[in-house]
Amino acid sequence: MLTITSLQVAYGAKVVLKDISLDVSPGEILALIGPNGAGKTTLVRAVSGTTPVLSGQIRVDGRDLSELSTAQRAKVLAVVPQARQLGGAYSVEQAVMMGRTAYMSWLGHENETDRVAVQLALQQARLEDFAHRQIAQLSGGEQQRVLLARALAQSTPVLLLDEPTNHLDLQHQTNLLSLVKKLAEEKQLAVMMAMHDLNLVSFFADKVALLVDGELKQFGTPQEVIQAGHISEAYQTPVEIVSHPVTGVPIIFPQGVLNHTK
């Protein structure tokens, strides 16, 4: 569904993404990991169209995104930014309706199709009871779900998330990622998200792309990418990996921590 081929992005004379090639299929979650400054958010912005591309291609279902207008692009991919970017003057329903902008007439009038899409998005994000509340009255986790609902209202096959669990406590982190995974499977969405917490990545991602200094160092399943050697080198800190006793996914610890727990 989402295919990135030989992508390069530059800020002025500095190339910050170098020859990135990866893909995400319907129903899959791809997590972008790597140390600060690795290029995770830049890649999300390049795919979303907010950061210019120097060379390479980004395709959704075979369509080259560079050939699409802003409105056309908004119908094939949606972006979930971090919650702190959401203003508090709107109601939840009004904020989610913004996801329908690309479908409205030039006068900005909503129709029944828009209203149905918004109600469905509110249900999917478990926000029906919050529809008429002001954004400013919501917690960070609830605001993040509003942003997810707004993206779902766009009715796109591709969903991009930029560090969606930042500033959220453990309960809201797991609730949000469980919801994203459920929606990816049920709606067959291709999901790409930048993430910091590698243990959450292990549990919720189907594929992992490890970026370092703008280069793709590893790409594969969590078991293939989240290995002690790969992670220690990328993050410049020694780690140990153990398999979760139930799921078998890799769990990361700083080196030496396990010795202190025995």
pLDDT digits (tens, 9 = 90+) for 25-75: 999 999 999 999 899 999 999 999 889 899 999 999 889 998 988 888 999
Q: Residue 196 class from Cβ within 10 Å (0-12 exposed, 13-18 middle, 19+ buried)?
A: middle
What is the residue range of 160's domain? Answer: 1-76+156-225
Contact 43, 32 (CB under 8 A): yes
Q: Which token pair is 49? A: 């169209």
Q: What is the pLDDT of residue 95?
A: 92
pLDDT value for 139: 84
Shared domain check, 179 and 69 = yes
CATH of the domain at 189: 3.40.50.300
**Tokens 């220690």 belong to residue:** 232
Q: What is the arrangement of strands in the sheet containing 29-33, beginning at the earlier edge strand?
A: 63-64, 55-60, 2-11, 14-24, 215-220, 207-212, 29-33, 190-194, 158-162, 77-80
User: How many domains does the chain divide into?
Assistant: 2
11 and 127 share a domain? no
115: Cα within 13 Å, side-chain hemisphere = 4
Report helix, strand or coil for 89. Answer: coil
Please check the confidence at residue 92 and state whether its pLDDT lies above 70.
yes
Among residues 138, 126, 128, the alpha carbon closest in space to that of 89 is found at 138
Tokens of 56: 């390479």
State residue 260's pLDDT score.
59
**Is pLDDT of 261 > 60?**
no
| 164/62 same-domain check | yes
Q: What is the pLDDT of residue 158?
A: 95
In this predicted model, what pLDDT tens digit does every residue of 189-234 receive, in sequence order?
999 999 999 999 999 999 999 999 999 999 999 999 999 999 999 9
pLDDT at 191: 97
Pairwise CA distance, residues 223 & 233, whole Å: 16
CA dihedral angle for residue 40, residue 41, residue 42, residue 45, rounded to 10 degrees: 130
Confidence category of residue 262, pLDDT binned at 50, 70, 90: low
For residue 145, report the phi and psi dihedrals to the nearest 5 degrees: -70, -30
Residues near 72 by beta carbon (within 8 Å), at least 6 away in sequence: 102
- 59 and 110 belong to one structural domain: no
pLDDT confidence of residue 90 = 86
Within-domain flag for 257: no
Query: What is the DSSP code (8-state) at residue 214?
Result: T
pLDDT digits (tens, 9 = 90+) for 118-174: 999 999 888 999 999 998 888 888 888 899 999 999 999 999 999 988 878 888 889
Judgement on whether residues 14 and 69 belong to the same structural domain of the protein: yes
Query: Are both 44 and 13 inside the same structural domain?
Result: yes
Same domain, 16 and 127: no
The pLDDT of residue 88: 67
Strands 2-11 and 55-60: antiparallel
Give the per-residue pLDDT at 247. Answer: 86
Co-location of 71 and 191 in the same domain: yes
pLDDT the model gives residue 171: 85
